[in-house]
Amino acid sequence: MLTKFRVSNFKSFRENFEIDFTKVNKYDFNQECVRDNCINNAIVYGKNGVGKSNLGFAIFDIIEHLTDKKKSELAEDYYINAYSSVNYAEFYYEFLIDNQKVTYTYRKDEYGTLLYEDFSINNRQLAFINKKESYKAIIKFKGAETLNNNLETNTALSLLKYIKNNAVLEKDTTNTTFKNFMIFVDRMLFFRSLKDNKYIGFDIKEGSIIDDIIKRKHVGDFQHFLNEAGVECELTVVDGVLTDKVLVFDFDGKMIPFEEIASTGTLSLTLFYAWFQDIREKGKVSFLFIDEFDAFYHFELSKFIVEELKKVGVQFVLTTHNTSIMTNDLLRPDCYFIMDKERMVSLANATDKELREAHNLEKIYKSNGFSLK
């Protein structure tokens, strides 16, 4: 699990912007929203322009240099905060992997250029490099003793990725945790609930999302999903003129192409389902961030999506403006977060009031009862 994250000098985040998912309250309701004393389900609110999308880009910056998965097309421009007094962005991650505390800090001066890396398990430093001072790395993994620690011939390469790809590590608890950390990062997924299907991480998808649903033979399941979400329809697949197969609505034998008449909300829901095929497979996605997750959704549909994600058990962060789902019927006060450009805190920590299950969180929020100060 991702337990803590901190970023500075990246895009809209000037100084240390921190998320702490370990600040868990002792609520006796919706306990499934917390796992291993860490927030497992989070929904984030904030005014336009505070950096909710940039928060996703920041967390998923790690994908660029530790994996070979889909990289961000949106995070590269204006990488360093315009007000920054230093010429690099710094990222700090804290994970719980195999019940071990894993910390990873790195610095970049642009999207694809690493300057510094520091990796530890249970506060024991195992890998370190500061390329501003030397290209010689410190490597303390068992089995990596003979590995060349000079990265001067490949200055863009991540030290951790270099170790993973080149060292034959011994089989011990520390090395297993390192391996599982790399797997966790490899299985992180970010996407935006908009028609353009922008995503980071996971496998690079080829073809349209409709083609993917047809290829997996999930049309019947997709129809059931839409029906459960309140979209009453019958779907089938027919041979196309320009493509092999076409998904269509079946109106008592009259076939109309799905993509030609589906509403914007239904198309957004289709995008969610396309990813949900993978999300619901146990262990396939380790951490999920959906930006504007309920764009174009009716409030009841937003609640339905959150409930479906909760059933899966994946750790997720969703951004939204929809306050109708800010309710203890769905999550709990330590799982709802508000943010501005400088900080992000849970509702439980945004008031001196002791919040209980019966409290109307939306009403308190709309009456400015929560404060980031």
pTM to 2 decimal places: 0.94
- The CATH label, of 3.40.50.2030, 3.40.50.2300, 3.40.50.300, 3.40.50.150, for the domain at 2-202+285-366 is 3.40.50.300
- Distance from C-alpha of 42 to C-alpha of 34, rounded to nearest angstrom: 10
When pLDDT is cut at 50, 70 and 90, the band that residue 310 belongs to is: very high
- Strands 235-239 and 245-251: what pairing? antiparallel
Helices within 43-166 (DSSP H only): 52-59, 62-66, 159-166
The contacts of residue 185 (CB under 8 Å, 6+ apart) are 62, 63, 66, 67, 286
- Digit-coded pLDDT (tens) for 13-42: 998 999 999 999 999 999 999 999 999 999
Is the model's pLDDT at 134 over the cut of 60? yes
Residue 54 buriedness (CB in 10 A; 0-12 / 13-18 / 19+) = buried
H/E stretch holding 364 reads: helix 361-366
Q: What is the pLDDT of residue 194?
A: 64
Question: What per-residue string of b and e applies to 104-134 under the rule 16 or more CB within 10 Å gives b?
Answer: bbbbbbebeebbbbbbbbeeeebbbbebeee
> Contact 63/53 with Cβ under 8 angstroms?
no
For the chain, what are the domain ranges?
2-202+285-366, 211-263
